């Protein structure tokens, strides 16, 4: 997907889930199965298809998984076919949309940060590169008239005074 590190968590709003009629019609066992599979999908991006595999992931038998993973629970997932024959996996469409949105935002922030760094550190007024980082004291604009300068408000006055000596 991306060269950025995997995201460890996702944000979930209770109102989004509790307003979903399909979710509210699920039994507690089905809700637990759905939630476990969603978390597995977030970490691994897909889950293996098949009741035996789903049962292993959720800690139930294949027979119990076939009862719990009905069309309601299945409606939260979409089949994804791999290039390898027989390797069918499923994705959670809501989580994948959220993941794409967050990756796009991260890439945008990363590009913006790199552009800002290039602007700040690799160009000068005459187009040359900055070769050294200026310290706070060197950037400081000194007052024209020493009587206008309020030493008590200057948090760096001690460093400034030592530099003058």
Q: Please spell the DSSP secondary structure of 107-124, one letter per residue.
A: HHHHHHHHHHHHHHHS--
Q: Are residues 144 and 78 in the same domain?
A: no
Q: Are residues 154 and 77 in the same domain?
A: no
Tens of pLDDT, residue by residue over 17-35, are 899 999 999 999 999 999 9
Residue of 103, 94, 104 lying closest to 38 (CA atoms):
94
Helix (H, G, I), strand (E, B) or coil at 88: strand
pLDDT of residue 81: 80
Question: What is the C-alpha to C-alpha distance for residues 9 and 132, in angstroms, rounded to an integer?
Answer: 39
Residue 1 confidence class, pLDDT cut points 50, 70, 90: very low
Tens of pLDDT, residue by residue over 31-71, are 999 999 999 999 998 999 999 999 999 999 999 999 999 99
pTM across the whole model: 0.64
Q: Are residues 84 and 40 in the same domain?
A: yes
Q: Which domain holds residue 165?
A: 134-165
Q: Are residues 115 and 157 in the same domain?
A: no
Residue range 94-108: mean pLDDT, rounded:
90
Dihedral angle, C-alpha 61, 65, 66, 71, nearest 10 °: 180
Question: What is the C-alpha to C-alpha distance for residues 136 and 50, in angstroms, rounded to an integer?
Answer: 63
If one compares 94 and 141, the residue with the highest pLDDT of the two is 94
Residue 133 above 70 pLDDT?
no
Contact 105, 7 (CB under 8 A): no
Question: What is the C-alpha to C-alpha distance for residues 64 and 27, in angstroms, rounded to an integer?
Answer: 13
- Written as six digits, the tokens of 15 are 């109102």
* CATH code at position 102: 1.10.10
Q: Are residues 60 and 114 in the same domain?
A: yes
- Written as six digits, the tokens of 93 are 């469409």
DSSP state of 48: E
Residue range 127-132: mean pLDDT, rounded:
59
Quote the mean pLDDT of the chain: 80
What is the number of domains present in the chain?
Answer: 2
């Amino acid at each position: 997907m991306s060269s950025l590190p995997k995201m460890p968590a996702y944000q979930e709003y209770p109102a989004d889930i509790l307003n979903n009629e399909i979710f509210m019609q699920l039994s507690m066992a089905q809700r637990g199965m759905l939630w476990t599979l969603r978390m597995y999908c977030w970490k691994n991006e897909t889950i293996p298809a098949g009741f035996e595999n789903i049962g292993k992931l959720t800690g139930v038998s294949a027979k119990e998984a076939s009862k719990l993973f009905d069309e309601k629970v299945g409606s939260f997932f979409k089949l994804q076919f791999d290039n390898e024959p027989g390797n069918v996996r499923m994705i959670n469409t809501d989580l994948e949309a959220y993941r794409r949105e967050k990756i796009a935002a991260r890439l945008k922030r990363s590009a913006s940060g790199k552009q800002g760094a290039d602007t700040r550190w690799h160009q000068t007024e005459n187009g040359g590169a900055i070769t050294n980082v200026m310290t706070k004291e060197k950037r400081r604009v000194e007052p024209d008239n020493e009587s206008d300068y309020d030493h008590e408000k200057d948090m760096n006055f001690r460093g400034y005074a030592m530099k003058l000596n």
